[in-house]
Structure 1
Amino acid sequence: MKRIFAAAIAATLSAGIAAAQELKPLNSDSEPDRMDWSVLEANLGTLPKLPEGLKVGGVSKTLTNEYWRSLGEGYQKFADKVGVSVAYQAAQSEGDQLGQLTIAEGMVTQGYKVLLVSPQTDANLQPVIEQAKAAKVPVVNVNDAVIPQAEHYVGNVQRDNGVRVAKWFIEKRPSGGKVAIIEGQAGVYAAVQRTDGFKKTIEDGGKFQVVASVPGNWDRQMSYDAATNILQQHPDLVGFYCNNDGMALGVVEAVKAAGLQEKVVVFGTDGISDAYKSIAAGELTGTVDSFPVLTGEVAMEVALRLVSGQQLPRVIATPQALITKDNYTQFQGSPDEIRAVLMKAASK
């Protein structure tokens, strides 16, 4: 079944690329046709009048991960603000590519007028792009896998997640040492960019050696096991960078089990509430928060502007920040309070 599904995806992807040659494959980090989230209204004006009875569909990776639940909260928050109906559904797990595809295809056939999708991989929702295009349904690719032929993307600069953590190591651990990376799902755009950003930046610093870079597949237990093995092989390790917070929290447990919490620092990515709690408790060293509630609000606004007929840049960039014990209290509060903090920072 998996081989048949993979073959179908590959065939549709090839057809999609041939049918949309005017679009270069999207690299959301470097796409020049972009706008920052903070200037959407200033550049485009207030939200236009929306069609009557508008139904918006949101398709996520999974709801077992807090990040994706928070993204959905952002969708709902903005939809409630403007009186729009939104349905938010997700696959059973972050590996359920076929389940996610089935949900997205169903939304197109059920008459949803615009879709917000967060793909499992860079390829598994490509068939929906073609189906939606034929039905004149705009699709917004929202963090973190990137569909190459997506016409619109909302999310942060994935490479910067890793770069920010690497710069922390270079500044705070100037003597250098051995570090390891726990990657997300192999081949997924966000995992590749986060890993490459960290690895290149920290190695260019000249003092650090990346001794291991292994997949944790977004899974906490798998990451715990991977970190345990790495620590056994490299007891002099000074730190880990993990592609998401769930994996990072698994690594924290492995570090504690090895009795190395005073020597080994651990960073994650996403900014989930458990990461903040762990930072406050002095366990997780830090995370790169990509503010999923705000990202969801921005993505919903983009979707509604598109369905109203506005022309938008291909990429709308959303904020991110390195969070440690030194600044985590600045980013705690209601979504509106956090939005105000980020808007102020963007205006500087």
Structure 2
Amino acid sequence: MKIRDFYEAAALDRRRFLIGSALGAGTLLMPGLVRPAFAEADLALASSIRSLSNAFHAAWNAGAEAFGSSIGARHAALVTEGNSEKGVADIRAFLAQHGAQAVLGVDPNDAPDARPIVEAVSAGGGFVTTVWNKPDDLHPWDFGNNYVAHMSFDGTPAGAQTAKALFEAMGGSGGIVALGGIPSNKPAIQRKAGLLEAVDANGNVELLDFQDADWDATKANSVVSAWITRFGSDIKGIWAANDGMAIGALEALRAEGLAGQIPVTGIDGTRDAVTAVRNGEMAATVDWDPFWIGGIALSLSYQAATGKIVPENEPQEHREFYAAGKLITQADIQEYWAANVEQSPPEPDWNDLWGRLDRQIN
């Protein structure tokens, strides 16, 4: 199936925008042992993500579906809706059904969730790749081959880059307000750190207020509406830790007739955000390519499940790494638009597991 077919069928963003007690059928594996490889048709693929109404995770799921289709394997979306207990329970249930045939790509709802998820998958003999969230002391190489890899993107420079783009768009000085993600999420922590670094380095910008909106557009809309009432014309720019909250902020500005007058930045590269950059309503976003993330997370786990790679034989930079993203501003939006919207990008090479590796996570 073509990439465009997935997007048209589900009205999703384009690719570039964007364990308990009952593990029944699982086979307990000792670290270091390589089990017989399964055929593609034997495997059960699943992605654990926050919400299909979230543009980032909708594109993630489209990429996961595309990868599953490419190998002829079934895929399920396990949606947490921001509930950690549900996220862990759904994965346990999936393991109880599929055991050692389970192949997972997981965005843990919160960093502590990664440990019980990884322990459950390892006990069941399945294979998992995590993205974004995990404790710093949890490492794939401590779980043999079952915890295949952890992939993330360095949010600190992204937070700083979008902040600097915001400052430039508002003329280099004035008051800003900022929207954070879930406070305990590693990406939220990093992106906030980047923002604060940029503010500290610029003596002409004042952070009027910072509030966490939990990656949620509706919460962000409510917070920004209150800020408009509270700060009025003192707000010269709005920084958001992801595109969903940035779009929520834009809706609040539109309601007051202020869209395009107060610049906004986000992070994720969703279609709505990239369009807003092109329309002059947002100053910048960062494209992580969630379509690729959804597919490559499953591909890493799948290649371990089928014996095409042996994770224990891979260097640590292949098992815990930052991938590269791209800053998009109004200065380069036309070039980006021509290459990624007007033209359909090629389908990802799902066998190129580390082609976008930036560096090992330290």
Which bracket does the TM-score occupy, shorter chain normalised?
Answer: 0.7 to 0.9
Partner of 1:336: 346
Partner of 2:276: 278
The structure 1 residue matched to 2:93, chosen from 103, 106, 122, is 106
Q: Which amino acid aligns with 1:319?
A: A
8 Å Cα contact 1:184/1:243 also seen in 2: yes
Partner of 1:315: 320
Change (3 A) 1:314 1:80: same
SS at match of 2:235: coil
Question: How far off is 1:262 after superposition?
Answer: 4.5
Q: How does 1:159-178 map to 2 (within 5 A)?
A: 159-173=156-170, 175-178=172-175
Q: Which amino acid aligns with 2:122?
A: K
8 Å Cα contact 2:260/2:282 also seen in 1: no
Q: Which amino acid aligns with 1:277?
A: T
Partner of 2:25: none
Q: Which amino acid aligns with 1:180?
A: V
| Structure 1 outlier segments of 4+, above 4 Å | 170-174, 343-347
8 Å Cα contact 1:117/1:141 also seen in 2: yes
Partner of 2:225: 228
Partner of 2:299: 301
Partner of 1:324: 329
- Structure 1 gaps of 5+ residues are 1-7, 10-48
Question: How far off is 1:320 after superposition?
Answer: 1.5
8 Å Cα contact 1:161/1:288 also seen in 2: yes
SS at match of 2:113: coil
- Structure 2 gaps of 5+ residues are 1-18, 21-35, 141-148
8 Å Cα contact 1:293/1:335 also seen in 2: no
SS at match of 1:88: strand
Change (3 A) 1:243 1:81: same
The structure 1 residue matched to 2:61, chosen from 72, 75, 96, is 72
The structure 1 residue matched to 2:121, chosen from 132, 138, 141, is 132
8 Å Cα contact 2:105/2:294 also seen in 1: no
**1:283-338 deviations in Å (ceiling 9; x for gaps):** 23332121101122222222123222422422243331222333241332434278
For the residues of structure 2 that align with 1:263 and 1:203, how far apart are their CA atoms? 24
8 Å Cα contact 2:106/2:128 also seen in 1: yes
8 Å Cα contact 2:67/2:295 also seen in 1: yes
Sequence identity, in percent?
Answer: 23
RMSD: 2.9
For the residues of structure 1 that align with 2:205 and 2:159, how far apart are their CA atoms? 14
**TM-score scaled to structure 2, two decimals?**
0.73
Question: How far off is 1:80 after superposition?
Answer: 2.4
**TM-score scaled to structure 1, two decimals?**
0.75
Q: How many residues are treated as equivalent by the alignment? A: 295
Change (3 A) 1:173 1:107: same
Question: How far off is 1:106 after superposition?
Answer: 1.1
The answer to whether residue 173 in structure 2 is matched with residue 156 in structure 1 is: no
The structure 2 residue matched to 1:146, chosen from 111, 134, 153, is 134
